Structure 1
Amino acid sequence: MNVLRSLFKWRKSLLLVPMALAALASAPVFAQQVVIIQQAPPPMRMEVMPGPRSGYAWDQGHWRWEGRGYVWLPGHWQPVRYGAHWRPGHWQARGPNWFWVEGHWVR
């Protein structure tokens, strides 16, 4: 009887450990990196938007900060989330600093 009780106690502890690790491992998924730059991005490049593509929304190209300077990322297709529209990412000035606002779907 004592053996069964000790196994039952260990079973509870063994279940809590993986659950705690899973909770800790999933936390960074929701964190977004904040990019703050004191140098304004270059002017947007003109891109030719390809013809419509069923089930996808066009995400225009943009400048991304790469530690020492801006690098151009060309536009690409985003799979559509029905009932929502795509709001593209953009640089936003706040005082002397520039912040990147990530593109996202809006309902």
Structure 2
Amino acid sequence: MNVVRSLSRWRKALLLVPLTFAALAGTPVFAQPEVIIREAPPPMRVEPMPGARPGYAWDPGHWRWEGRGYAWVPGHWQPVARHGARWKPGHWQARGPNWYWIEGHWVR
């Protein structure tokens, strides 16, 4: 009976190994699908920036594509990822007739 239990445990463990490798080999969390839109975003909204907050950088609001139209995303604070880095906000960039979203990121 103990041999049967032992084999059953080993079989379960061996089945988890390929699943673990498949999960690790998947798309990284930071990979973002490229957003390409033919409709230009609306003009930026005027949004007052709150007072400075140590350890954070202000990420201004922007328009996000929601599948059928744009929706406003209000500004928010980004925790500083690296000492001496500055936050480059995301923005829409025109390339020919299309508009591409460039994700915000930290720059040294």
- Does TM, normalized by the shorter one, top 0.5? yes
Greater helix share, 1 or 2? 1
Partner of 1:72: 72
Partner of 2:35: 35
CA distance in 2, matches of 1:19, 1:61: 38
Q: CA RMSD in A?
A: 2.1
Percent of matched pairs sharing the same residue: 71
SS, match of residue 98 in structure 1? strand
Alignment-mate amino acid for residue 84 of structure 2? G
SS, match of residue 29 in structure 1? coil
SS, match of residue 21 in structure 2? helix
Structure 1 residue runs of 5 or longer lacking an equivalent are 1-6
Partner of 2:106: 105
CA distance in 1, matches of 2:46, 2:23: 44
2:55 counterpart of 1:55: yes
Partner of 1:4: none
**Structure 1 stretch displaced more, 28-37 or 74-83:** 28-37
Structure-2-length-normalised TM-score: 0.79
Displacement of 1:32: 1.2
CA distance in 2, matches of 1:53, 1:20: 41
